Amino acid sequence: MKGYLITFEGPDGAGKTTVINELIKQLPKEIQKKTIITREPGGSKISENIRTIILDPANKEMDDRTEALLYAAQRSQHVSEVIRPALAAGKIVLSDRFIDSSLAYQGVGRDLGVEEVKQINDFGTGGLEPDLTIFLDLDPATGLARIEKERAGQEDRLEQEKLAFHKKVYAGYTDLLKRYPDRIKKVDANLPIEEVAANSVKIIRKQLPDIFM
């Protein structure tokens, strides 16, 4: 069986990590065995080191272009070291964030331009695109409120950005939904985690039925 890359996107606080962990429990056992979970920024030793630099609240002086390039660099390593080998082995890769995060956060949120950010990421990944992207839809203000409740005072550098920035990011995601309607599917992240995961599984079954054969 060919491998599949399924990515999960959404504003900060949408619950991507929790949903992925719940979703995998709802998959048939034989599919669980050939599924790996990874994340961005991160997913490999080098990429995790870059993650620390990107998200460290102390790095307030980081230039927007530097931020975009660091995200692209960690993604390049992540794809080379983890994702492509897994796909070649016929694995199902569930990634907590991927290129769409850069397009929304740096392309739109930082006003660097979606096409410009896409170019540096395509160079880094060799043009790898997800087979399916699940967008966990949540109002950015609600997401930030969740984060403040769960880990007040421990927010990372991006989470500490003001609501206006996160609203721009959300608008960027909205544009991506229109740009890639066949690949990006929306799930209401206001629902209980079990329902969000179940709805995500339904989408995977519909969009990528070969996985379940």
Query: Binding site: which residues?
Result: 10-17
Distances (CA, A) of 88 to 3, 78, 82: 6, 14, 10
Q: How far apart are CA 193 and CA 15, in angstroms?
A: 8
Distances (CA, A) of 26 to 1, 43, 51, 70, 211: 21, 23, 29, 34, 14
Annotated binding residues for ATP: 10-17
Q: How far apart are CA 196 and CA 179, in angstroms?
A: 23
44, 92 contact by CB (below 8 A):
no
The DSSP bridge partners found for residue 183 are none
Q: Return the residue matching tokens 């991006």.
A: 158
